[in-house]
Chains A and B, each alone.
Chain A
Amino acid sequence: KAGVTQTPRYLIKTRGQQVTLSCSPISGHRSVSWYQQTPGQGLQFLFEYFSETQRNKGNFPGRFSGRQFSNSRSEMNVSTLELGDSALYLCASSLEPAGATDTQYFGPGTRLTVL
């Protein structure tokens, strides 16, 4: 079974631009979560989608948004990029929404650099 795939793997943008990242979950997984990983802050939760609905959202500004399609694939968008948005963006999928025993499987991430 193929793992979680994320595209693109690397991206360079300039301040003020916007970017869209894509995530394809493991086949059969309906929950997708997004995280931002930086050396100083570690992994920070962005949002979780299940069956095309956003279930939870982390403490990020409105410039960060996402969506999920009927085939469970998900995209996240960052508008008006800032230098501090440079990070590794990780997508994780699981069978069910966040719960006591769900296991999240992570993709390799998209490395975003904002110049």
Chain B
Amino acid sequence: QKEVEQDPGPLSVPEGAIVSLNCTYSNSAFQYFMWYRQYSRKGPELLMYTYSSGNKEDGRFTAQVDKSSKYISLFIRDSQPSDSATYLCAMKGSNYQLIWGAGTKLIIKP
């Protein structure tokens, strides 16, 4: 079993919808949680960074961490076709090595 599980999708939603992307993990030592976005033929870019449990909001993006359930989420409000990409969750514990989810391919239909 992988340390971080993420549904690969694809997830297809109409423009303007609220998107929910999720990851579950098994290692309770993870303390730092990140979401990256990767466009085709590009490297990942950091979207959101959260420490421990709680919510963090940045524009249309909200990251949520529930350490008791070992579950993290990324919400995208008012989704746009330009949000179409692969979204990767990543997390790290005290050794600071990033452990990645497989990525969810998101398609926003105009």
Question: What's the minimum C-beta distance from A13 to chain B, rounded to whole angstroms?
Answer: 20
- Is B45 at the interface (CB under 8 A from chain A)? yes
Residue A53 CB within 8 A of the other chain: no
Would you give the shortest CB distance from B26 to chain A, in whole angstroms? 15
Within B71-110, the residues touching A (CB, 8 Å) are 88, 90, 92, 95-98, 100-103
Range of interface residues on B (Cβ < 8 Å): 20 to 34
Kindly report which residue of chain B lies nearest to residue A44, judged by CB atoms: B100
Within 8 Å by CB of B96, from A4, A98, A106, A107, lies: A98
Q: Which residues of B contact A42 (CB under 8 A)?
A: 6, 88, 100-103
CB within 8 Å for A100 and B101 given contacts A90-B43, A90-B44, A92-B43: no
14 more A-B contacts (CB under 8 A) besides A104-B98, A106-B43, A108-B43? A42-B6, A42-B101, A42-B103, A43-B98, A43-B100, A90-B43, A98-B96, A98-B97, A99-B96, A100-B51, A105-B45, A107-B43, A108-B41, A109-B42
